């Protein structure tokens, strides 16, 4: 294989043409896509992040496969090896591009469902289900890409090796199923969660006495963001097998209580009117529930329950704190004697004491 100067120049020209045309086509396509989706930042960033590099690699590889037969004086055996390697690279790059397409599809779908709005039940359902759909699609793409990679090889021995590898996968899967029982159960639990929806992204839950929000659902665990910014890592199977509280299962609306303990002398009606005034002036109240009732009596105090509602658990917590502060201020200002007090009543008791110097009895008053 003797390359002349002309042959080297021609080969370099072909490779340069591949680089120029590949990058040119890449630029034009993504320029059009950028102009189309420039008004949707999430979609624009997703296209550039997940498709730009694999698309460029695919264009350049396809161009290389096109020019290889045109390069002169390459022996058939070497050309076949080069084409085989280039074909394998193309299969890998196409798999990379397909995985990027899955992420873009995920971003395009989720961009239509905003979880920051007040009524975000449907959006949280879609976000939760898309996590599992994305993982399943990626697994399918990887399997198809590996199969295509085996079939793109020209060596029949590798085909037989691949066939034997697939045949032995049944026995290997049994061994792995026994060794990774918890992982398999978590995967099945993840599918159940995606279908039955006991939890969703951004749901407010109480797990083992900890209040928090569902921050992330992985293939094995659920990450719960606690109110004090700690993270609680819970296996997926927990939400299938164990009871827990979900405060946003249907809607985000929630009611909260504030208990006051006052003396019997405090009138209830003025406190009820003050509660209505407090919540009506607060944007934290959703305008649905506001009530004050006497819910219990003890030998010393009267228990008053203030029941208020909000559009979300965080807003309801802040509203309850506000009600406590304002109601205590009202009691201190208008009914200072109505706060819980402990009464002691002293009674006279006469004790007869006999004087030893005489037969008379003296009376001592205590």
Cβ pair 222, 239 in contact under 8 A:
yes
Residue spans of the domains in the chain: they are 5-181, 187-246, 254-338
Q: Residue 13 CB: number of other CB atoms within 10 A?
A: 11
Q: Could you tell me which CATH number the domain at 187-246 has?
A: 2.30.30.60
* Digitized pLDDT (tens) for each residue of the chain, 366 residues in all: 555 666 667 677 777 877 888 778 877 877 776 666 554 555 556 677 788 888 888 888 888 888 777 777 677 777 777 778 888 888 898 998 899 888 888 888 877 776 666 666 677 777 777 877 888 888 888 888 887 777 777 666 555 555 554 455 455 555 555 545 556 666 677 777 777 778 888 888 999 888 898 888 887 788 999 988 899 999 888 888 888 888 877 777 788 899 999 988 899 999 999 999 999 999 999 888 999 999 999 888 899 999 999 888 788 889 999 999 999 999 989 988 887 766 666 666 555 555 555 555 555 444
3-state percent breakdown (helix, strand, coil) of the chain, nearest 5: 55, 15, 25
Structure confidence at residue 23 (pLDDT):
79
Q: If you count DSSP H runs as helices and E runs as strands, how many of each does the chain have, helices first?
A: 10, 10
Helix 76-110 / helix 41-67 crossing angle, nearest 10 deg: 170
Q: In terms of CATH architecture, what is 254-338?
A: 2-Layer Sandwich (3.30)
Rounded to 5 degrees, what are φ and ψ at 42?
-65, -40
Contacts of 339 (CB under 8 A, 6+ apart): 262, 263, 331, 332
Q: Which single residue is written with the structure tokens 């995920």?
A: 106
Cite the beta strand spans of the chain per DSSP E. Answer: 204-207, 210-217, 221-226, 231-235, 245-246, 254-262, 290-297, 302-310, 350-354, 361-365
**Cα separations (Å) of 359 from 298, 354, 363?**
50, 7, 13
Cβ pair 119, 252 in contact under 8 A:
yes
292: exposed, middle or buried (Cβ count in 10 Å: 0-12, 13-18, 19+):
buried
Structure confidence at residue 365 (pLDDT):
45
Structure confidence at residue 175 (pLDDT):
53
Tokens describing residue 318: 């802040």
Structure confidence at residue 341 (pLDDT):
66
Cβ pair 311, 286 in contact under 8 A:
yes
Q: Is the pTM of this model over 0.85?
A: no
Spatial distance between the Cα atoms of 196 and 352, rounded to a whole number of angstroms? 81
Which of 189, 236, 231, 186 lies closest to 210, judged by CA? Answer: 231
């Amino acid at each position: 294989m003797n390359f002349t100067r002309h042959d080297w120049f021609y080969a370099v020209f072909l490779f340069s043409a591949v680089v120029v045309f590949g990058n040119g086509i890449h630029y034009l396509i993504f320029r059009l896509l950028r102009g189309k989706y420039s008004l949707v930042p999430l979609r624009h960033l997703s296209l550039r992040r997940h498709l730009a590099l694999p698309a460029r690699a695919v264009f350049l590889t396809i161009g290389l496969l096109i020019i290889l037969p045109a390069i002169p004086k390459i022996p058939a055996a070497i050309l076949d090896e080069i084409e085989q390697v280039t074909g394998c690279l193309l299969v890998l790059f196409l798999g990379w591009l397909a995985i990027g397409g899955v992420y873009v599809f995920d971003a395009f779908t989720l961009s239509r469902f905003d979880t920051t709005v007040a009524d975000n039940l449907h959006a949280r359902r879609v976000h939760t289900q898309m996590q599992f759909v994305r993982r399943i699609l990626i697994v399918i793409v990887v399997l198809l890409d590996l199969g295509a990679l085996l079939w793109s090889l020209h060596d029949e021995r590798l085909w037989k090796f691949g066939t034997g590898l697939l045949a032995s996968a049944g026995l290997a899967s049994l061994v792995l199923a026994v060794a990774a029982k918890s992982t398999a159960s978590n995967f099945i639990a993840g599918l159940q969660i995606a279908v039955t929806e006991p939890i969703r992204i951004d749901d407010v839950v109480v797990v083992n006495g900890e209040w928090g929000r569902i921050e992330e659902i992985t293939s094995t665990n659920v990450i719960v963001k606690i109110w004090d910014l700690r993270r609680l890592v819970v296996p997926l199977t927990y939400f299938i097998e164990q009871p827990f509280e979900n405060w946003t299962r249907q809607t985000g609306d929630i009611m909260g209580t504030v208990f006051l303990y006052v003396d019997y002398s405090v009138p209830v009606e003025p406190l009820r009117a003050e509660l209505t005034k407090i919540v009506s002036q607060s944007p934290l109240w959703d305008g649905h529930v506001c009530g004050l009732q006497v819910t219990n009596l003890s030998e010393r105090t009267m228990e008053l329950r203030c029941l208020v509602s909000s559009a979300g658990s965080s807003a309801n917590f802040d509203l309850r704190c506000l009600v406590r502060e304002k109601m205590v201020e009202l009691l201190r200002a208008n009914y200072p004697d109505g706060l819980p007090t402990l009464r002691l009543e002293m009674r006279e008791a006469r004790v007869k004491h006999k004087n030893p110097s005489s037969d008379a009895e003296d009376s001592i008053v205590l």
